[in-house]
């Protein structure tokens, strides 16, 4: 059964509690793995969030025969709770990246668009269907993203396992963000949604397209490294 209703104080409480929760999780991971880097511990927390976000997004779908329905409608309590959990994580992650000196433009834009977009959806208490669908497609590939980086810290590099994770990540990201992502952006922009929601949906899709191009270059480079090198000219001459 759904909760009877959600008010602004509920949302603020969920977000504040979530920021404390994710920050505490990071400190616990740091304590459990003192020899691991700051980035490793943050990625561990990010993986926890990705799994939680996908599960909460799935549980908030009212009708799986039309998961992106109804559009421009009032958000359900389950949708708002799922979005509040992710908004809290985005606030935590933005602060965590800043403290670690990660001020890359694409990462900063990603955090800004996500925080403003989700925050607007929670403030309007509508567009929950579109935002939860966006949450699902953007987080479904995140565990593989973080796994490929965490493997490097374990000393696993340039192996078939690395290549497998890279390819699985690239495929999952491409299908989710460049397959379903444009459709979700289209229905969000064409529905009767606030202009801020439409702008943030478009901005997130642009960030996804930029990352998609970088991923294509990465996969091309990785596959190129796996090709056997031709024998040196002197060996060819000796063979003849």
The pLDDT value given to residue 56: 96
- Decide if pLDDT at 78 tops 60: yes
- Decide if pLDDT at 5 tops 80: no
- Sorting pLDDT into bands at 50, 70 and 90, what band is 240? very low
- Sorting pLDDT into bands at 50, 70 and 90, what band is 221? confident
Which of 81, 68, 72 minimizes the C-alpha distance to 134? 68
CA distances from 175 to 140, 146, 182, 209 (A): 10, 18, 11, 12
The pLDDT value given to residue 2: 45
- Decide if pLDDT at 197 tops 80: yes
The pLDDT value given to residue 131: 96
Stretch 168-172: mean pLDDT: 96
Three-class DSSP category at 211: helix
- Decide if pLDDT at 170 tops 80: yes
The pLDDT value given to residue 139: 97
b/e code 106-138 from CB counts within 10 Å (16+ = b):
eeeebbebbbbbbbbbbeebbbbbbbbbbbbbb
> What percent of the chain is modeled with pLDDT above 90?
76
- Decide if pLDDT at 186 tops 50: yes
Tell me what the pLDDT averaged over the chain comes to. Answer: 90
Give the range among 73-77, 115-119, 152-156, 179-183 with minimum mean pLDDT.
152-156
Stretch 75-89: mean pLDDT: 95
Alpha helices in 34-157 (DSSP H): 38-59, 77-99, 105-124, 128-139, 142-153
pTM to 2 decimal places: 0.88
The pLDDT value given to residue 233: 54
- Decide if pLDDT at 229 tops 60: no
The pLDDT value given to residue 160: 86
The pLDDT value given to residue 162: 87
- Decide if pLDDT at 88 tops 70: yes
Three-class DSSP category at 126: strand
């Amino acid at each position: 059964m759904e909760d009877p209703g959600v008010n602004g104080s509920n949302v603020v409480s969920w977000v504040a509690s979530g920021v404390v929760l994710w920050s505490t999780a990071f400190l616990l991971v740091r304590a459990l793995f003192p020899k691991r880097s700051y980035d490793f511990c943050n990625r561990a927390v990010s993986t926890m969030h990705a799994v939680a976000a996908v599960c909460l997004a799935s549980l908030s779908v009212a009708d799986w025969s039309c998961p992106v329905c109804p559009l421009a409608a009032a958000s359900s309590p389950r949708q708002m709770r799922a979005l509040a959990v992710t908004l809290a994580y985005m606030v935590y992650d933005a602060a965590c990246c800043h403290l670690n000196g990660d001020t890359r433009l694409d990462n900063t834009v990603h955090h800004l668009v996500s925080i403003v977009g989700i925050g607007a959806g929670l403030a309007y208490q509508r567009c929950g269907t579109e935002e939860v669908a966006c949450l699902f497609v953007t987080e479904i590939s995140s565990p593989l993203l973080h796994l490929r980086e965490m493997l490097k810290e374990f000393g696993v590099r340039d192996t078939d396992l690395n290549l497998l994770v890279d390819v699985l990540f690239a495929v999952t990201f491409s299908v989710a963000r460049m397959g379903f992502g444009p459709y979700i952006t289209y229905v969000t922009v064409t529905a009767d949604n606030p202009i801020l929601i439409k702008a943030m949906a478009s901005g997130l899709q642009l960030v996804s397209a930029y990352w998609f191009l970088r991923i294509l270059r990465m996969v091309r480079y990785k596959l190129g490294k796996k090709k056997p090198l031709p024998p040196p000219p002197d060996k060819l001459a000796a063979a003849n």
